[in-house]
Amino acid sequence: MKKKILITGCGGYLGSYLIPFLLKKNYLIQGYDIGFFKECNLFENKNLSDQINLKDAKDIKLEDLQNCDVVVHLAGISNDPLNKLTSAKVYDPTREYTLNIAKMCKSLNKKFIFASSCSVFGAAKTENYLTEMSETSPQTGYSLNKLQIEEDLTLISDLKFSPICLRFATIFGVSSRIRFDVVINMLVGMALTQGEIKLNSNGEAWRPHLYIEDACAAILHFIEYEKKNRNGKVSIINIGRNDNNIKIIDVAKIIQELVPGTKIKFINNSNENSKEQLFTDRKIKEGHDSRTYKVLFDLSENEFGFKCKYTVRDGISEMIENFSKFKFDDKIFKFKGFYRLQYLENLHEKNLIDDNLKWKT
């Protein structure tokens, strides 16, 4: 009998791809999502609407988890804090409800998989490749939150409960609730709709990249992974490919090759940045991105038997092919719903969500 998988935060970028991915493998899916991005659809995804229950992760109770076999925890805020809210106001509740859900999984003997991030490495102090044991240096509230949750899960792990923390590289690729505020998606969108890639940094920052199909394949692998836990410790695993550690400028050049005629432009001055608010990364200062790191992904293959399939070039090629299947234009690319921070700020400014990031109606 196939396992029943409960996915929190299933209505976002990754979850909207993961649900149909797991359904094709004949898993039973139970999904919870607060519904912030229910109107942010690139294309229809009936699998998503059929599987989602509108519920805030803060409100998940023990009885909600009793009938599942595995909890995949995607819920969280994936951006900078909103303009009018502090980082603590945004991220502390995420830490609290994640620990609560994990403790309930422990009491019910359920497997718990947490979507963490390689962004915990932040501004690396070395040019060497970083392993799971390397020093972390989170540069944002988001990445600090991921690291704090990993630490919380470590404290509650034991011989009977060993949570799995998948430190994903920066995910890219097409989903029905796509984000264009992640680097490769944004650059591909620019190339296809404007014929020009605009970089608001010098492009010299190193990043590890992960195609969305591989991210979902990793989750599936660890759903099915049944070996004994690692001496009662939490399993923290970098997910990606070593050869997908690529500078941003070199990603732009790959896209330039795959979309002939594309130009690369740097928008470092403030006047140009002010005109490109959707595309401006608030963490980049004076054309410099302090977040630069290269990550080693050997542990996932050598100890856990998982290997990613897609190179960055492969993933971008598939993205371009997917976009060609429907009318993808500048209007779609610039829809605010595909830029999570700006969309959440819009909901907040319109008084639709409160300072606790809960619906007012």
Residue 356 domain-assigned (yes or no): no
- List pLDDT tens digits, range 241-268: 999 999 999 999 999 999 999 999 988 6
Q: Cα(221)–Cα(238) distance, rounded to whole angstroms?
A: 14
Condensed to tens digits (0 to 9), the pLDDT of residues 161-215 reads: 999 999 999 999 999 999 999 999 999 999 999 999 999 888 999 999 999 999 9
Q: Of the candidates 119, 117, 104, which has an alpha carbon nearest to the alpha carbon of residue 32? A: 104
Parent domain of 26: 4-180+208-246+291-312
Q: What is the mean pLDDT of residues 75-94?
A: 84
CB of 57 closer than 8 Å to CB of 104: no
pLDDT digits 0-9 by tens, 203-232: 999 999 999 999 999 999 999 998 755 566
In a domain, residue 65? The reply is: yes
In which region does residue 236 sit, left (phi positive, over 0), alpha (psi from -120 to 50) or beta (all else)?
A: beta
CATH number at residue 16: 3.40.50.720
Q: How far apart are the first and last CA of the chain?
A: 40
Partners of residue 199 on adjacent β-strands:
266
Output the CA–CA distances (angstroms, integers) from residue 42 to 13, 162, 313, 320, in the order listed: 11, 37, 23, 14
- Is 350 among the domain residues? no
Q: What pLDDT does residue 201 have?
A: 81
Look at residue 198 and tell me if it is in a domain.
no
Q: How many whole angstroms separate alpha carbon 245 and alpha carbon 146? A: 21
218 falls within a domain: yes
In whole angstroms, give the CA distance from residue 55 to residue 77: 15
In eight-state DSSP terms, residue 35 is: -
Neighbouring CB atoms inside 10 A of 107's CB total 11
Total count of domains within the chain: 1
136 domain-assigned? yes
Judge whether 331 lies within some domain: no
Residue 328 inside a domain? The answer is no
Per-residue pLDDT tens over the stretch 280-316: 555 555 445 677 899 999 999 999 999 999 999 999 9
Q: What CA–CA distance (Å, rounded) separates 217 from 305?
A: 12
